[in-house]
């Protein structure tokens, strides 16, 4: 049943995004707020499809930790799931992503209209300068900047591989940082199409205030996210074992 439900969900998921991107093109005339509206519409529809087809519910915790105004949102990255779930909880954001995504047909129009921070990773240290140059005005305007500190998706329980770019951004902009832990990869793997039933948790942790030394911030961020994510992963796997030991082992 998991395979069949996953297949049905994937068909519905990609059909939904294609239809919404086509029908939503006129909304892009409203600029980034039009793009945000379509992103949230797609996100809510996708979350609904996950629950109804796959039995996978998304739970947000720590919503009281979300500050007002401009801040850096630094999230663990295990799955495609959090990339659309997070947009439902921030009012006016910009996501740091690789420049190549802007050239994907239709999708590129939306991320351009949304005012994303697109960087060329091949530029090395110059890429950090690009991030700070583009993120500074966003944060000063009271908006939010998303960054995945590890730069790519990591399997649940994998050795962390945080990049120093998030610490550089924190130091140079003087913005607070909102860490985000999660266990989404237990249910929606970074590869493959299976979508397992259960409760995927995305947890907003206490804000790290500005002003910490760069190295101290980097260590605290990694410790906060990894400790909470490991707790959430253990919670998810325990629930899976209770319901179906063979599914948890898989």
Residue 49 located in a structural domain: no
Residue 189 located in a structural domain: yes
Q: The CATH number of the domain where 68 resides is what?
A: 3.40.1130.10
pLDDT the model gives residue 68: 93
What total number of domains does the chain contain?
Answer: 1
C-alpha 198: how far from chain center: 19
Residue 225 located in a structural domain: yes
Q: With 80 as the cut, is the pLDDT of residue 250 above it?
A: no
Tell me the per-residue pLDDT of 134-160, one tens digit each, with 9 for 90 and over. Answer: 999 999 999 999 999 998 899 999 999
pLDDT the model gives residue 124: 63
What range does the domain containing 169 cover?
A: 56-249
Tell me the per-residue pLDDT of 9-47, one tens digit each, with 9 for 90 and over. Answer: 999 999 999 999 999 999 999 999 999 999 999 999 999
Residue 40 located in a structural domain: no
Residue 173 located in a structural domain: yes
User: In whole angstroms, what is the distance from residue 57 CA to residue 166 CA?
Assistant: 30
Tell me the per-residue pLDDT of 204-243, one tens digit each, with 9 for 90 and over. Answer: 999 999 999 999 999 999 999 999 999 999 999 999 887 7
H/E stretch holding 96? strand 93-98
Q: What is the pairing mode between strands 198-204 and 93-98?
A: unpaired
Residue 99 located in a structural domain: yes
Q: Are 66 and 202 in contact (CB under 8 A)?
A: no
Q: With 70 as the cut, is the pLDDT of residue 246 above it?
A: no
Residue 6 located in a structural domain: no
Tell me what the mean pLDDT of segment 68-86 comes to.
96
Tell me what the mean pLDDT of segment 177-198 comes to.
94
pLDDT the model gives residue 202: 98
């Amino acid at each position: 049943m998991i395979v069949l439900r996953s297949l049905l969900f994937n068909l519905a998921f990609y059909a939904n995004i294609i239809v919404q991107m086509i029908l939503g093109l006129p909304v892009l005339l409203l600029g980034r707020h039009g793009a945000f509206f379509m992103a949230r519409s797609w996100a809510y529809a996708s979350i609904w499809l996950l629950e109804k087809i796959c039995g996978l519910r998304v739970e947000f915790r720590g919503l009281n930790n979300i500050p007002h105004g401009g801040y850096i949102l630094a999230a663990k990255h295990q799955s495609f799931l959090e990339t659309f779930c997070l947009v439902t909880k921030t009012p006016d954001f910009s996501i740091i992503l690789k420049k190549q995504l802007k050239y994907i047909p239709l999708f590129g129009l939306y991320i351009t209209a949304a005012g994303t921070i697109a960087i060329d990773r091949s530029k090395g240290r110059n890429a950090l300068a690009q991030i700070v140059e583009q993120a500074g005005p966003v944060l000063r305007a009271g908006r939010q900047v998303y960054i995945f500190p590890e730069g790519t998706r990591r399997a649940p329980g994998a050795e962390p591989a945080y990049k120093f770019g998030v610490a550089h951004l924190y130091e140079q902009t003087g913005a607070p940082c909102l860490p985000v832990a999660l266990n989404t990869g237990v249910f929606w793997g970074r590869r493959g199409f299976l979508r397992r039933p259960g409760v995927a948790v995305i947890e907003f942790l206490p804000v790290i205030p500005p002003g910490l030394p760069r190295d101290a911030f980097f260590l605290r961020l990694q410790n906060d996210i990894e400790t909470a994510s490991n707790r959430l992963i253990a919670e998810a796997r325990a629930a899976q074992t209770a319901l179906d030991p063979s599914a948890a082992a898989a």
